[in-house]
Amino acid sequence: MTASIPEPAPPSRERVIARGLEWCARWSARWILIFIALWLASQVLGRMWTILLPVVLALIVTTVLAPISIFLERRLRLPASLAAASTLLGAIAVIVAVGFALAPSTAGQAGAIADDATAGLDRISQWLRDTDMVTHKQVDTAIDAVQDKLTASASTIASGVLVGVGAVTSALVTLTVTLILTFLFLKDGRRFLPWLRRLAGPSVGTHLAEVLGRAWSTLGGFIRTQALVSAIDAVFIGLGLVLVGVPLAVPLAVLTFFGGFVPIVGAFVVGALAVLVALVSNGWVGALIVLGVVVAVQQLEGNVLSPWLQSRSMSLHAAVVLLSVALGSALFGIVGAFLAVPVTAMIAVVFRYLDEQVTARSEAWVVPARSPDEPDTDADAGARGGPEPETPPA
């Protein structure tokens, strides 16, 4: 007759508390080390930003131009260097042609936009005083606060630009380095991932190549989609300004296009400028019509264009976009605001890949059955509801 195996005694209260404290201490130490590593990485990034800025800008430009270069190389049988040079020179020619086409209508009107915006604010403040909605003192206090905030923001942006540019003495140098790097990336960029896979080994290299490949596709899709959405916004808002009869419609439409690359914040700022200019030139009725046009176009973009043109894998919550733009502008000024959303999108790709790997490994991990003669282990206790092992096998 086989003797029955007694059930293991439940762990004591002291042992349960001790295990909980050990787990908390281990993970606290790990998170502290992670934050220290992130701080060190931010310090290195700040020191090397002068070098990294042209690289980042060249990567963004390359994501837009790479499909054209690949088409010329594969369909027209052009050498890689000739295809890259033709693509880059063609893009420069298009930008210069568009600039010359818009120059007669936009040159020298930036000051007029600023003057009209200031006059619009003065008219709004006068209207508030006349309607007795707020007191004269409250209006003056609010205007002074806004002016102080703008002054502080201007100094912050200026310091951020100085930190971001650093040793780069002029925008021409940055532009030159960016164009050279773009040509090299277009010509030889496809060799990077195979080289990285061989260098890092079959295990780590596979993960790095997969993450970087996804990040590259996400970045390219985001930039191209954002450019298309910004162009559509500029066309519709510019058409509305022309129909209302706003005199600075073309430069405001150009500002709308470039402001679209800073989601939420850029659209809000340019839309406010358009409303203020319309208030000065066309009165309250024109300003309200322009406000309706801007709101309608922004709703069309947020609810129809962006969800339709962008895939779900690139979607970011509005709060994440807003916080990333605020952080980027505070750290690196205008450049940081422009780069905030693409960088955040690529970071989101990394986190999604890590989540996929964690999910795959946790679902693949099955606790093996224990024979009656084997001693009780922590893994078996975890399978029965006790403390789980810290790191499950892959």
pLDDT in tens, 1-51: 455 666 667 778 888 888 889 999 999 999 999 999 989 988 888 788 778
pLDDT digits (tens, 9 = 90+) for 302-345: 666 666 665 555 567 767 777 887 788 777 777 777 778 788 88
The residue type of 234 is A
Q: Which residues contact 222 (CB under 8 A, 6 or more apart)?
A: 310, 314, 341, 342, 345
Tokens found for residue 54 = 């042209």
Please compute the mean of the pLDDT values over residues 94-104 and round it to a whole number.
Answer: 73
pLDDT digits (tens, 9 = 90+) for 225-272: 778 888 888 888 888 888 888 777 777 788 888 877 776 667 777 777
Residue 385 is assigned to a structural domain of this protein: no
Confidence of residue 166 (pLDDT cuts 50, 70, 90): very low
Q: Which burial class, exposed, middle or buried, applies to 383 when counting CB atoms under 10 A from its CB (0-12, 13-18, 19+)? A: middle
For residue 305, the number of C-alpha atoms closer than 13 Å in the C-beta half-sphere is 19
With a cut of 50, say whether residue 383 has pLDDT above it. no
Residue 273 is assigned to a structural domain of this protein: yes
Confidence of residue 104 (pLDDT cuts 50, 70, 90): low
Please compute the mean of the pLDDT values over residues 362-384 and round it to a whole number.
Answer: 52
pLDDT digits (tens, 9 = 90+) for 178-215: 899 999 999 888 888 888 888 888 888 888 888 888 88
With a cut of 80, say whether residue 124 has pLDDT above it. no
* Cα-based distances in Å from 242 to 111, 130, 289, 323: 20, 31, 12, 34
State the pLDDT at residue 89. Answer: 92
Query: Could you list the residue range(s) of the whole structural domain that residue 197 is in?
Result: 14-363
Tokens found for residue 384 = 């029965």
State the pLDDT at residue 29. Answer: 94
Question: Regarding predicted confidence, which is higher, 189 or 167?
Answer: 189
Which single residue is written with the structure tokens 């896979």?
Answer: 197
With a cut of 70, say whether residue 390 has pLDDT above it. no
Residue 5 is assigned to a structural domain of this protein: no
State the pLDDT at residue 393. Answer: 40
Tokens found for residue 111 = 């000051």
Pair 233, 367: CB distance under 8 Å: no
Cα 294 to chain centroid distance, Å, stands at: 23
Supply the pTM of this predicted model.
0.61
Tokens found for residue 133 = 């909605």
SS3 87: helix
Going by C-alpha positions, the residue among 170, 172, 179, 160 that lies closest to residue 335 is 160
Tokens found for residue 118 = 């200031």
Please compute the mean of the pLDDT values over residues 136-159 and round it to a whole number.
Answer: 55
Residue 368 is assigned to a structural domain of this protein: no
Q: Please, where are the H alpha helices in the chain?
A: 13-75, 80-106, 110-130, 136-165, 171-188, 192-200, 202-244, 249-259, 265-300, 306-309, 318-364, 378-383
With a cut of 70, say whether residue 299 has pLDDT above it. yes
State the pLDDT at residue 57. Answer: 86
Question: Regarding predicted confidence, which is higher, 235 or 154?
Answer: 235
State the pLDDT at residue 153. Answer: 46
Q: Residue 37 phi/psi, 5° resolution? A: -65, -40
Confidence of residue 274 (pLDDT cuts 50, 70, 90): confident
With a cut of 50, say whether residue 69 has pLDDT above it. yes
In sequence order, what DSSP letters do the residues of 337-391 get, joined into one string? HHHHHHHHHHHHHHHHHHHHHHHHHHHH--PPP--TTSPP-HHHHHHTTSPPPSS
The residue type of 347 is I
State the pLDDT at residue 37. Answer: 93
Best-predicted range by mean pLDDT (136-145, 163-172, 243-252): 243-252
What distance in Å separates the CA atoms of residue 292 and residue 60, rounded to the nearest whole number? 34
* Cα-based distances in Å from 304 to 53, 154, 299, 300, 337: 33, 35, 8, 5, 24
Confidence of residue 119 (pLDDT cuts 50, 70, 90): low
Residue 381 is assigned to a structural domain of this protein: no
Residue 209 is assigned to a structural domain of this protein: yes
Tokens found for residue 14 = 């002291």
Going by C-alpha positions, the residue among 326, 44, 50, 324 that lies closest to residue 162 is 50
Which single residue is written with the structure tokens 């596709």?
Answer: 217
What distance in Å separates the CA atoms of residue 340 and residue 27, rounded to the nearest whole number? 30
Residue 386 is assigned to a structural domain of this protein: no
Residue 358 is assigned to a structural domain of this protein: yes
With a cut of 60, say whether residue 370 has pLDDT above it. no
Please compute the mean of the pLDDT values over residues 90-113 and round it to a whole number.
Answer: 69
* Cα-based distances in Å from 348 to 11, 48, 313, 320, 329: 41, 23, 9, 10, 19
* Choice among 28-32, 67-71, 146-150, 173-177 with the minimum mean pLDDT: 146-150
Number of folded domains in the chain? Answer: 1
What distance in Å separates the CA atoms of residue 249 and residue 235, rounded to the nearest whole number? 10
The residue type of 190 is R
Q: Which residues contact 267 (CB under 8 A, 6 or more apart)?
A: 233, 256, 259, 260, 298, 301
Confidence of residue 123 (pLDDT cuts 50, 70, 90): low
Q: Which residues contact 91 (CB under 8 A, 6 or more apart)?
A: 61, 65
